[in-house]
Amino acid sequence: MEEYGTLYLCPTPIGNLEDITLRVLRVLNEVDLIAAEDTRQTLKLLNHYEIKKSLVSYHEHNKVTMGPKLIEKLKSGKSIALVTDAGTPSISDPGEELVRLCIQEGIKIVPLPGPTAAITALIASGLDASSFVFEGFLPKKSKERREKLERISREERTTILYESPHRLKETLKELKEYIGERKVVVARELTKIHEEFIRGTVEEVLEKLGEEVKGEIVIVIEGAKISPLQKDPKELLDKYLKLGMDKKEAVKKVAEELKVSKREVYKLAIDEDIN
């Protein structure tokens, strides 16, 4: 039986074309075929490094039909390099599904290290990088989106999101409702000439943003310092109410102290039947 080929997962630059490893360049030169999320974008990279290789498209809209075709080529002994539009394959792209198909068929997978926008933003954010969660893009459907935002509001680890520039401001406004005064960092145009990190609370970041936002966006969110499960919000609300604060003021004070949104504290206040 003919020996199967190998699938190489090849990270490509997220901006600066110098951010590619010698090993990735060697593999791109040696494989039989390159499967690319965006062949036009990949062709620019290949031309820059004078690599001449056959390209095929493999992306979200053709993965169901193209995936099996790539598997057949691998089973026939061909080696394939999988590249995403930018960054590391399988991170917020259909590469993970091709990987699963290869595992099912017993095809060898070789992951190569390289650029990832999420990690690049995290290490320069100034927020806790020892423990974090990557959430990718928020769901578009309202119910799923609310559920995800609720989870983020309670998450004690640093959270990393991806967002498109035209949706950034609306997403930040939504986040403000759920995470209150916690710190965020918006990273844009990573590794490019106009690379920028905008830091502060959500409100402060919104004030710093220009009228038109350009470039790919990563949002890094500070984790909740003290969750309601660790410190009883009812006791805090009772304390501030006894000090003469009205309910609205008390809810705001507790939200600031627990680093959670006023929405969450108000809900807890209602659940605890605090008047």
At 201-212, the pLDDT tens digits run 999 999 999 888
CA atoms of 160 and 217, how far apart (whole Å): 11
Contacts of 149-152 with CB under 8 Å at 24 or more apart are 149/174, 149/175, 149/177, 149/178, 150/178, 152/178, 152/179, 152/221
264: its two tokens: 């969450």
pTM of the full structure: 0.80
Q: What is the 3-state secondary structure (H, E, C) of 13-34?
A: CCCCCCCCCHHHHHHHHHCCEE
Residue type, 147: E
Q: In this structure, what DSSP letter does residue 211 have?
A: S
Q: At a CB cut-off of 8 Å and minimum separation 6, what does 244 contact? A: none
Cβ 53 vs Cβ 31: under 8 Å: yes
Q: At a CB cut-off of 8 Å and minimum separation 6, what does 119 contact? A: none
Q: Which H or E run includes 219? A: strand 217-221
Q: What is the pLDDT of residue 2?
A: 65
Query: In angstroms, how far is CA 227 from the centroid of its own chain?
Result: 23
* CATH number 3.30.950.10 given to 117-221: yes
| pLDDT tens, the chain, 275 aa long | 469 999 999 999 999 999 999 999 999 999 999 999 999 999 999 999 999 999 999 999 999 999 999 999 999 999 999 999 999 999 988 999 999 999 999 999 999 999 999 999 999 999 999 999 999 999 999 899 999 999 999 899 999 999 999 999 999 999 999 998 899 999 999 999 999 999 999 999 999 998 888 889 999 999 987 654 456 677 777 778 887 888 888 888 887 777 677 777 777 666 655 54
The fold adopted by the segment(s) 7-111 is Cobalt-precorrin-4 Transmethylase; domain 1 (3.40.1010)
Q: What is the pLDDT of residue 263?
A: 77
Domain boundaries, the chain: 7-111, 117-221, 233-269
Q: At a CB cut-off of 8 Å and minimum separation 6, what does 26 contact? A: none
Residue 180: φ, ψ to 5°: 65, -125
